[in-house]
Structure 1
Amino acid sequence: MSSQVTPDGQATPGLDRRTELREFLRSRRARLRPEDVGLPSHGRRRVPGLRREELAQLAGVSYAYYARLEQGYGETMSAEVLDAVARALRLNVEERDHLVRLAQPERPSATQAAPPRQRLRAGVRHLLDALGVPAYVVDRRLDILGWNRLAAAVFGDWGRLPPEERNVARLAFLSPEARERFADPDSTAWKIVGVVRMNAGKSPDDAHFSSLIQELSHKSEEFRQLWARHEVSCGTVGETVRMRHPLVGEFDLAHEPMALPGGAPMRLVTYHAEPGSRSEEALRMLASWEMEPLP
């Protein structure tokens, strides 16, 4: 992603695919040591990680060919070459998919570029209301499009916020009240940045997404530092998140995101507690109490 400069002199990311590809590959090289991949290490290095020529050797391509990829020119490269680079860098599945999207993006269309804010179908809203667990729906930008009463009890009353502030990433970095609902907000923030970067790679022409990243970079030092690490994630299915509530204390919820069919990409995100656990009892207590006004 290209860099722009904030009033305090800090570089902030835009949505430039070639710069993003270059920085992503550099960050993946930096985390590998020669001895990690069976190469000899020759003394001290000015920068950490593998050199370009070492990575090219591991991938079985010429230095010039790999250097062109790292400069952001991957359009003409074969899937075999990209796979070889991914293996040499020891990328996981999510990282490999991210590499391919950056190197060989789909041709943008009028429907792909900056889609408008989505609206939930009535059937999805009814489903949210019927679920007996905390649940909400987000789009690719992580805008919160709908939620049920139990989600409001667990995470806070999003209905009190203007629609433009109902965004998972924005709340994680700019809302102290939202962060207080997580027992480990730093870990949660790290994972959210990975999802933001993964999704931004899928929507490079989305001006709204670019504006969100610019805002978070400008207002949150934590976001800037995490963004510079170039981690990617699609969200871990089944992962346990420890919550903190002012009335019931700490409890654990398992996180289950599911894609919704039809139209622009949206996800239904549900949280459930282990049957018979104290966490289930905490959820039951929250569900039984009147939720207006919320704490």
Structure 2
Amino acid sequence: MRGLRREEVAHIAQVSVNYYTRLEQGQNRSASPEVLDAIANALRLNPGERAHLHNLSRAAELARPAKAAEEVRPAVARMISAYLQGPAVVLGRQMDILAWNALARTMFSGHIDIEELLARDTAPNLAELVFLHPGARALYPRWNDEAVEMAGYLRMMAGRFPGDPELVELIERLSHASPEFTEIWSGHVVWDKTFGTRHLHHPAVGELTLSFESLRLPDSPDQCIVLYHAEPASLEEEALRILLEGRGGG
């Protein structure tokens, strides 16, 4: 509770302790957006956590049946393929890799069998790769940070799409197969990092620190484009050039 007692949160949000307790226990889902914002302010929630709080209050409204398999518009797939400044991927609502460019595949191929992934009938799932594939800890030198962000993003998506069968199945599968995921998931972390830096490793060029931007598609808000790039004239920029030209053996 961010170090605040229940009574303190209720006081700051200007609601009764009894009312706040019912909200906290899921017994009252009729809170207005204004009340939820007041509680979010009291708890000093970040934007992702604030959105998650609103989604939880609208669980019945947001619940929806299973959707058809996600697909990327061809124009988006071509745009991703043509991106040469760094790795680029399109992620679906369950973290399926719906499209990726040559540099993204090259980065993964340093530690993960890409041909085996592409031979499957379903799209590779980034969350499964992070938590279940043994090569992920080499691909991500700061694996624990990556794991926390991944679990937090899945929790945010679970709030946006409560009851989504495929998302529920993915979370159950990770919970059964990965003690690390179970531990992180129990912490109720919510994460929606839209930009920042990520540390990746490829055996041919070593560790790379790349900046990234996440962009949601207006007509497909379930899908997210993630673009990576290196600082101009940096060692990372040269390393990406080596990998793109195929001199890295990827």
TM-score, L = length of structure 1: 0.77
Q: Name the structure 1 match of 2:93.
A: 140
Structure 1 residues 146-189: Cα deviation after superposition (integer angstroms, max 9, x where no partner): 11111111123544212546111111100111331112111111
Q: d(CA) in 2 for partners of 1:108 and 1:249? A: 44
- 1:223 equivalent to 2:177? Answer no
| Whole-angstrom distance in 2 between the partners of 1:137 and 1:159 | 19
Q: 1 CA distance for matches of 2:7 and 2:161?
A: 32
CA shift for structure 1 position 197 = 0.7
Instruction: Point out 4+ residue stretches in structure 1 off by more than 6 angstroms.
Output: none
Query: How far 1:61 sits from its partner (Å)?
Result: 1.4
SS in 2 for 1:176: coil
Q: Assess if the C-alpha contact under 8 Å between 1:171 and 1:179 holds in 2.
A: no
Aligned in 2, Cα 1:225/1:120: closer, same or farther, shift over 3 Å?
same
Describe how 1:1-295 pairs up with structure 2 within 5 A. Answer: 29=1, 31-33=2-4, 50=5, 52-105=6-59, 107-108=61-62, 112-132=64-84, 133-156=86-109, 158-161=114-117, 162-164=120-122, 166-237=124-195, 239-263=196-220, 265-289=222-246, 294=250
SS at match of 1:107: helix
Task: Please provide the CA RMSD for this pair.
Answer: 2.0
180-189 vs 161-170, which moves further: 161-170
Question: 1:261 and 1:59 mapped to 2: Cα distance?
Answer: 33
How far did residue 94 of structure 1 move?
1.5
1:145 and 1:165 map into 2 onto residues whose CA distance is 6
Distance in 2 of aligned mates of 1:113 and 1:235: 27
Per-residue CA distance 1:76-125 (angstroms, 9 max, x = gap): 2222221221122121222111111101336247xx42212211222122
CA contact (8 A) 2:136 2:143 kept: no
State the aligned residue count. 244
2 CA distance for matches of 1:175 and 1:204? 27
* Higher mean displacement: 168-177 or 282-291: 282-291
- Given that 1:118 and 1:264 are in contact with CA atoms closer than 8 Å, whether structure 2 keeps it comes out as no
Q: For 1:99 and 1:63, locate their aligned partners in 2 and report how far apart those are by CA, in whole Å.
A: 18
Give, in angstroms, the shift of residue 58 of structure 1: 2.7
Q: Which runs of 5+ in 1 are unaligned?
A: 1-28, 34-49
Distance in 2 separating the partners of 1:91 and 1:222? 25
- Judging changes above 3 Å, is the alpha-carbon distance between structure 1 residues 159 and 122 closer, same or farther for their aligned structure 2 residues? farther
One-letter code aligned to 2:99: G
| More deviation, 215-224/153-162 | 153-162
Take 2:236 and 2:217, find their aligned partners in 1: how far apart are those partners? 27
On the 8 A contact 2:55/2:159 being kept in 1, the answer is yes
What does the per-residue CA deviation read over 1:219-251, in whole Å, with 9 as the maximum and x for residues that have no partner?
1111111111111111231x1112111111111
Distance 1:259 1:220 in 2: 29
Give SS of 2:15's match: coil
Tell me how far apart the structure 1 counterparts of residues 74 and 122 of structure 2 sit (CA, whole Å): 21
Instruction: Confirm or deny: 8 A CA contact 2:108 2:139 kept in the other structure.
Output: yes
- Relative to structure 1, is the Cα distance of residues 93 and 222 closer, same or farther in structure 2, using a 3 angstrom cutoff? same
1:18 maps to which residue?
none
Cα distance in 2 between the residues matched to 1:201 and 1:32: 24
How far the C-alpha of 1:211 sits from its partner, in A, is 0.5
Checking the alignment, whether the CA contact within 8 Å between 1:86 and 1:96 is kept in structure 2 is yes
The structure-2 alpha-carbon separation of the partners of 1:53 and 1:230, relative to structure 1 and needing over 3 Å to count, comes to: same
Say which structure, 1 or 2, has more relative contact order (CA 8 Å, 6+ apart).
Answer: 2
Once residues 226 and 194 of structure 2 are traced to their aligned partners in structure 1, the CA distance between those partners, rounded to angstroms, is: 11
Identical aligned pairs, as a percentage?
41
